[in-house]
Amino acid sequence: MEIKKIAVLGAGQMGNGIAHVCAQAGYEVKMRDIDQKFIDNGLATIKKNLDRGVKKERMTQEEADTVLRRVQGVLDLKEAVKDADLVIEAIPEIVKLKLETWKEVDEAAPEHAILASNTSSISITQMAAVTKRPEKFIGMHFFNPVPVMGLVEIIKGQSTDDATVKVIEEVSHKVGKKTVLVNEAPGFAVNRLLVPALNEAVFAIQEGVATVEDMDLAIKLGLNWPMGPLTLLDFVGLDTALYISDYFVDEFKDSKYRAPALLRKMVRAGWLGRKSGKGFYDYSGEKPVPNKF
């Protein structure tokens, strides 16, 4: 089966990145969000990232314009998926929202369409089960920022068939990513390790072990991470990290995955990291400034 048209649900951090790499690989993309302002923001981010590519002479202005023209912003869900060969979902990490959305998508998308979720943690089998095509349902886990990061974790649900895996491997390679194939388990391969590590950094801040700046520097230089865990959390989005931790506790029934109270408090205050302008760092000035806790 050849994929030509892709619908991306969500124009946030992940959605616009996924739409970008798909359009750059030559796919026709419809990017759907629930409010025009989110679509506009998503398109503006794609344009900004393409402009950077032109400046760095990785592509010509003409190529960048062609890529941008391949992404159409859409508000209506049915309109977004009605002629899609592949639907990639990147909406918030909330189980109820994802299940409701997949039911609607399943009704409106063509029978042959493959349904892929970019979830960070939620069971592929659980989402597949609300559709009439569980064999065509799969996890396609990109990493943030999508145009830069080189991996797609492909997750096979209980009913996902091999033909679907093959198509998704091909699409992932075409958008320039390497793939790993994992069987479904909460957090798959990467987040099962990463999320407890990030939470532990927040516990350390909560307990006054170190400042935000020192914790980040310690892990960056001591473990050779490209960035510290608190900087990374601000990139991921604190709300997303909290949803994942809560989901892990439910699924694993193991308190080692619990979220620190500080993380929950920050999310309740609307401190979501870069996307809200404030998290472990403050982003209102030219350079991020670490907050004190």
Ligand X SMILES: NC(=O)c1ccc[n+]([C@@H]2O[C@H](COP(=O)([O-])OP(=O)(O)OC[C@H]3O[C@@H](n4cnc5c(N)ncnc54)[C@H](O)[C@@H]3O)[C@@H](O)[C@H]2O)c1
Asked if 92 is part of the footprint of ligand X (rule: CB under 6 A), the reply reads: yes
Choosing from 89, 118, 141, 199, which is the catalytic residue? Answer: 141
Instruction: Tell me whether residue 103 or residue 258 sits nearer to ligand X (CB atom).
Output: 103
Choosing from 117, 118, 120, 123, which is the catalytic residue? Answer: 120
Nearest to 222 by CA among 201, 199, 193, 195: 201
Nearest to 243 by CA among 204, 191, 200: 191
Asked if 19 is part of the footprint of ligand X (rule: CB under 6 A), the reply reads: no
Asked if 275 is part of the footprint of ligand X (rule: CB under 6 A), the reply reads: yes
CB atoms within 10 A of CB 235: 15
Minimum gap (Å) between residue 89 Cβ and ligand X = 8
Minimum gap (Å) between residue 213 Cβ and ligand X = 22
> Which listed range, 21-29, 108-116, 127-135, 236-244, lies at the site for ligand X (CB under 6 A)?
236-244
Helices 13-24 and 36-55 pack at an angle, to 10 degrees, of 50
Asked about 120 being catalytic, the answer comes back as yes
Asked if 87 is part of the footprint of ligand X (rule: CB under 6 A), the reply reads: no
Asked about 191 being catalytic, the answer comes back as yes
Lookup: tokens for 40: 């506009």
Query: In the set 50, 71, 91, 259, which binds ligand X (CB under 6 A)?
Result: 91
Nearest to 291 by CA among 226, 239, 238: 238
**105 touches 134 (CB < 8 A):** no
How far is residue 50's CA from residue 67's CA, in Å, rounded to a whole number?
A: 8
Binding site for ligand X (CB under 6 A): 9-15, 32-34, 38, 90-93, 101, 118-120, 141-144, 236-237, 240, 275
Active site residues: 120, 141, 153, 191
